Amino acid sequence: MSRTPVILHLDMDAFFASVEQADDPSLKGRPVIIGASDRGVVSAASYEARKYGVRSAIPVAQARKLCPHGVFLPGRHRRYREVSRQVMAVVACFSPLVEQTSVDEAYVDISGMERLFGTPERIARRLKESIREATGLTCSVGIAPNKFLAKICSDLNKPDGVYILDPADVPGFLARLDPYRISGVGKRLAETLRTLNVRVITDVLRFSEAFWAEKVGDKAARFLYARARGQGSSEIVPYAEAKSSGAENTFARDTRDPEELKRWLLRQAERVGRDLRSDDRFGRTVTLKVKFADFRSVTRSISLPRPVQATEDIFRAAEGLLDALPLPQSVRLIGVSVSNLSRGERQLDLLNDGRDEARARLDKALDALRERHGRDAVTRGRLFGHDRTA
C-alpha cells in the first residue's frame, strides 16, 4: 500500500531585507525596504516595514509616503543568490528530493525521512535551526500531503513559523480558508467566486464541475475543483533548466533618446551574456521589452539563425528590434532577455568565425576581471561615463 506523501515547503522570511539586516546589524529592528529609485517598485520589505503597509510590488514612491523613516536600499542580488545557495545546500542534507522554485523557496519530499531525522515536526525544527546556524536567517515551513497545501501552510505562521497539516484534517482546513489562498486565483477569478458567495475554499463544491466550466472555462473549473478537494501534485522536480535570462531597468527620468536607450541595452546585454556564459548556455530568441511613460508595455522578439551567448550578439539583436520599434512617447523602462536556451551548442558562422572567437575571448576576459574586481572594474568604451541612474 502506497504511503501518503509528506511534502515540506520552505519559505525564507522577508529574504532580501533579512539578508541586509544579517549583514549589517545596525539595520536590525528597522524598516528595511529593497527598492531605492522612486521610479521603481519595492522588491522586498522587512516585517518592520510591513507594519506600515509596505509590500512587494508597490511603487517605491508610495512606500516612502507610507514609511518615510524606512531604510531604502538598492538591493544586492548577487549576494542574495549567494545566500540562497547556502540555504539550498542545507536543505539538500535533509532529502535528495528538493525542488527550488525561487531564490527563497523550495519544496522538499521528506517522505520516509523519519528514520533518519525523526517526525515531520522534528525535521522542520532541525531544518530551521540548521539554516539559522548557516546564514543567521529565519524561515517558515509548511508540511502537508502535496505542494499546493504545503505552500499555504508555510504562510500561516510567518515569520519563523511551522504549520503541519495532517491528511485527515484537510477538509476542515480548507473549510476555513479564503479562496485567495489558492495560488493561481487572481483578482478576476476571485471576483467571480465572490459573486457566487464562495467565501471559503470548500464552498466551490456547492456547485458541480460542469457549472464551474460554464462560468470560468474547463481548465479553471478542473483546477478549482481539484483544489477544493485538497488535491494537488506532490511530485518533486529536483532540477529544471532556466527558460530564459533577462535584465531590465526603470529610468529615473523618461527618455526618447535612442542612443541612451541603446546604452542601457548594451549594459543589459552584458549582464545577460555573463549569466549565460557562467552556465555554458546559449539562446536563439532575443526579446526587447519597452514600457512607455503611460505604463503601456510592448515586447518584440527575434529568433536567430544560431544560438548565441556573446554580449555583442545579444546587443545587436536587441538594437535591431529597438530601431524597428516606433517610439510615440518617452520610455520609462527598457529590458532585454534571451530564451529558447540550450547548453553547450556553440555554432560558429564559417564566414565569421574569426570575429566570433574574438568576441568570445573579449567576453571571457571581461567576465574574469569583473568576477575578481567587481562589475565596475572595466567598462566598454561606449559605456564610459554612462550614468546608471539616468
pLDDT grade, residue 252 (50/70/90)? confident
CA–CA distance from 198 to each of 20, 108, 207, 224, 229 (Å)?
41, 32, 10, 12, 14
- Domain residue ranges of the chain, discontinuous segments joined by +: 1-165, 170-228, 244-383
pLDDT grade, residue 148 (50/70/90)? very high
pLDDT reading at 9 higher than 70:
yes
Q: What is the mean pLDDT of residues 125-134?
A: 97
Give per-residue pLDDT as tens, 177-226.
Answer: 988 888 888 778 888 888 899 999 999 999 999 998 998 888 889 999 99
Contact 266, 315 (CB under 8 A): yes
Percent of the chain with pLDDT over 90: 64
What is residue 347's predicted lDDT score, i.e. its pLDDT? Answer: 47
Q: What is the mean pLDDT of residues 222-241?
A: 88
Nearest to 281, CA basis, from 314, 252, 257: 314
pLDDT reading at 328 higher than 80:
yes
Let me know if 248 is a catalytic residue.
no
Q: Does this model's pTM top 0.75?
A: no
Distance CA 357, CA 351 (A): 12
Counting Cα atoms < 13 Å in the Cβ hemisphere of 96 gives 1
What is residue 348's predicted lDDT score, i.e. its pLDDT? Answer: 44
DSSP state of 28: T
Q: Which CATH class is domain 1-165?
A: alpha beta
What is residue 1's predicted lDDT score, i.e. its pLDDT? Answer: 43
The active-site residue out of 105, 270, 312, 319 is: 105
What is residue 64's predicted lDDT score, i.e. its pLDDT? Answer: 96
Domains 1-165 and 244-383 share a fold: no
Q: What is the DSSP string of 171-212?
A: HHHHTTS-GGGSTT--HHHHHHHHHTT--SGGGGGGS-HHHH
* CATH number for region 244-383: 3.30.1490.100
| 1.10.150.20, 3.40.50.300, 1.20.1050.10, 1.10.20.60: CATH of 170-228 | 1.10.150.20
